[in-house]
């Protein structure tokens, strides 16, 4: 078994990755995504669960949708969202599993 050195991800890819990370880097949006990982939910359900104004939740969702993280599905007058991008899902899972473990720092 030969130890393989990773090749460097090119800048264009890093920019895309940073775009997605920036969207995920918000506690409310992380919370939304982890809930959508369990099952699809409507804007209103999420707003109630997170105790946020519906328009705030709608904005977070539209932000994530624009970045391909979630997708919408309208049913009557309620709109259900689900996680769309499986890689964002992987990332979230990574965050969830490891707690993204920041040790307490000595600043």
Site residues for DNA per CB under 7 A:
22, 25-26, 28, 42-45, 47, 53-56, 58-59, 61-63, 72, 74, 76-79
- Candidates 72, 45, 53; CA nearest to 61 is 72
Q: How far is the CB of 77 from its own copies (least distance, A)?
A: 23
Taking CB under 8 A as the rule, which mask of x and - marks residues 83-102 in contact with its own copies? Answer: --xxxx-xx--xxx-xxxxx
Between 21 and 53, CB nearer to its own copies: 21
Asked if 37 touches its own copies (CB under 8 A), the answer is yes
Which does residue 40 touch among its own copies, DNA, none (CB within 5 to 8 A, set by kind)?
Answer: none
Q: How far is the CB of 98 from its own copies (least distance, A)?
A: 4
Separation between Cα atoms, residue 49 and residue 36, nearest integer Å: 12
Q: How far is the CB of 31 from DNA (least distance, A)?
A: 11
Separation between Cα atoms, residue 24 and residue 40, nearest integer Å: 18
DSSP 39: S
> Coil, strand, or helix at residue 12?
helix
Separation between Cα atoms, residue 82 and residue 61, nearest integer Å: 10
């Amino acid at each position: 078994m030969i130890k393989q050195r990773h090749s460097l991800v090119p800048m264009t890819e890093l920019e895309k990755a940073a775009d997605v990370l920036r969207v995920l880097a918000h506690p409310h949006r992380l919370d939304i995504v982890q809930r959508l990982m369990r099952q699809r939910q409507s804007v209103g359900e999420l707003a109630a669960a997170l105790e946020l104004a519906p328009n705030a939740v709608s904005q977070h969702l539209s932000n994530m949708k624009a970045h391909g993280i979630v997708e919408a599905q309208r049913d009557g007058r309620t709109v259900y969202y689900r996680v769309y991008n499986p890689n964002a899902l992987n990332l979230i899972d990574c965050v969830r599993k490891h707690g993204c473990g920041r040790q307490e720092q000595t600043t």
